[in-house]
Structures are given as C-alpha cells and as structure tokens.
Amino acid sequence: MSEVIISIPDILYLGTEQNVIIPEPGYVTMKILYIFPHPDDESYGPAPIMAQQHRKGHEVHLLTLTRGGATKRRFHYGYSVEEMGRVRKQEMHEVERVLELDGFTIWDMPDSGLKEMDPIEIEQAIEKHITSLKPDVIVSYAVHGISGFPDHLVAHAVVKRVFTKLKRDGVAKPKRLALFTLRETPEKSYFNLSSSPDADIDCCITPDSEDIEKGKEALLCYKTYLETIKKTKIMDQVPEPKYFELFQEDFDPWLTDLFDELPS
C-alpha cells in the first residue's frame, strides 16, 4: 500500500486507575475497537459509552481513518487541507486523553476521498490492524452512515467486509460487529440524519452521569468546531441513550451492554 495514502499510524497506549470500577471476581474484561472515518465521529456518537466501558475495566481502542482536513471549517481559519488535518489530529489526542483510551490510531487516508480509494487497500489495512489487536467487538457506522456522508458509507462497507472475511477464515476474534446508529424519532434535528427502526436495533446503552460529562468534555476538545457544536446543540444529545445494530444477530428485548451474550 502506498505510504502517500496511509501514513505510519501513531499508536499510543495510555492507562489510568482514576474513576475505574474495580471488577468483581469472575468479571470478564473485554477489548473493543471503534473504527470511524473522521475526527469527532466518536465524540458526536458513542463517546460516553466508550468512557463507560473504560471505567468498567474494558480495553477501549479507537481507529480513525483520516485526519479530517478536508472539512469546510478549514476555510474559516484559512488552513490548507494538510494544516487542518494537523490541527484536528492534535484535537484527537486531547480526546484520547479525556476518554482515557487504551489505544488510539489515526491514519492519513484522504478525507472526503475514501470512495476514490481501492476498497481492497482499505480493507487490507483494517484487517491487519484488527488481527494485530484481536478485539472482542468492533464498532463502526450502520449501513446508512447516519449522515449519509460517503466516507461514512465506505467505512461501514469495508469494516463489514473485513469482519465477514475473518469469520469465514475461522478467526476467533472479533466475535461481534456492532453498528452505531440513531433511533427513529419524529423530531427533526439540525442535520438531515438517517436512523434505524426499532426492529433493527439490538442494543441500547444509557450513559451514567460521569460518562456524560466525559462525552461533553470530549466534544469540547474540537476547538475548531465549537461554533458548530453550539449551533447544532449537539451537547443536548450527549446524555441520550446510544443505539447499536448487531450484525447478523437479533435481540428482543435489546441488550444493554455490547459485551452481553457474545457469539461463541
């Protein structure tokens, strides 16, 4: 794979005992990998759940495919795509600190350009990362990508293909692919977002107050997006339950933990 397309990943492993729940005897800790295309995807989405999982003693990792430099917000600051990408990378390191991630990796795939890449190249890079990390669960976007942005749709497709390939190959982990989504609601949001009907949802997790505060703090790490965060009132959505579809699984009633009833 060309080094021009994908830079050598920056991987940091951090840990802290602060605010961590001490597992009871017999409690099994898990490893989870979130895969999103852009900086802030995690904070606009499941960040409070990531904080909760870490606090419960699970190992939480984040892989971000691009540096997000092509955002239109760069024009507000007069930045080039490369300059904006560097700034957003630094913002993500602040998110890493706030969420106390056990592992964080950011690549330099072309922002807003994943659809032009050979998907096999993306899949090979993701497969290598997954097989090295061996997470129990991986998380990415649902098929609609929530926003419908092409990079979100590509991320869903390549992650799902890698997951199914590993299953066919008999690889033990990951055991589950969870797809982050929104629940259908009659209320209109600032953005034109897609959601999932209740029949497609398999897991609903309600964040605790401590984790809600972590989620809000993570959002505020994106200083270049503070105007957008305020305008969209996204902070009001941080305390809301987070919903996931579980690929090729069906639960009714919904699970309340992504590690519950893992396939063998």
HEC secondary structure over 180-224: EECECCCCCCCCCCCCECHHHCCEEECCCHHHHHHHHHHHHCCHH
Q: Do the beta carbons of residue 202 and residue 244 sit within 8 Å?
A: yes
pLDDT for position 26: 62
Place 21 in a pLDDT band, splitting at 50, 70 and 90: low
Q: Do the beta carbons of residue 159 and residue 137 sit within 8 Å?
A: no
Phi, psi of 109 (to 5 degrees): -70, 160
How far the first Cα of the chain sits from its last, in Å, is 34
Residue 252 CB neighbour total at 10 angstroms: 9
pLDDT above 80 for 201: yes
Residue among 94, 85, 100 nearest 20 (CA) = 100
pLDDT for position 192: 82
pLDDT tens digits, one per residue of 155-176: 999 999 999 999 999 999 999 9
pLDDT tens digits, one per residue of 206-255: 999 999 999 999 999 999 999 999 998 899 999 999 999 999 999 999 99
pLDDT tens digits, one per residue of 61-81: 999 999 999 999 999 999 999
Place 9 in a pLDDT band, splitting at 50, 70 and 90: very low
pLDDT for position 186: 74
Domains of the chain: residue spans and CATH: 10-20+27-246 (3.40.50.10320)
Q: Do the beta carbons of residue 203 and residue 244 sit within 8 Å?
A: yes
pTM for this model (two decimals): 0.90
pLDDT for position 250: 98
Residue 54 CB neighbour total at 10 angstroms: 23
Q: What stretch of H or E contains 163?
A: helix 150-168
pLDDT for position 189: 62
pLDDT for position 25: 58
Share above pLDDT 70 across residues of the chain, in percent, rounded to a whole number = 89
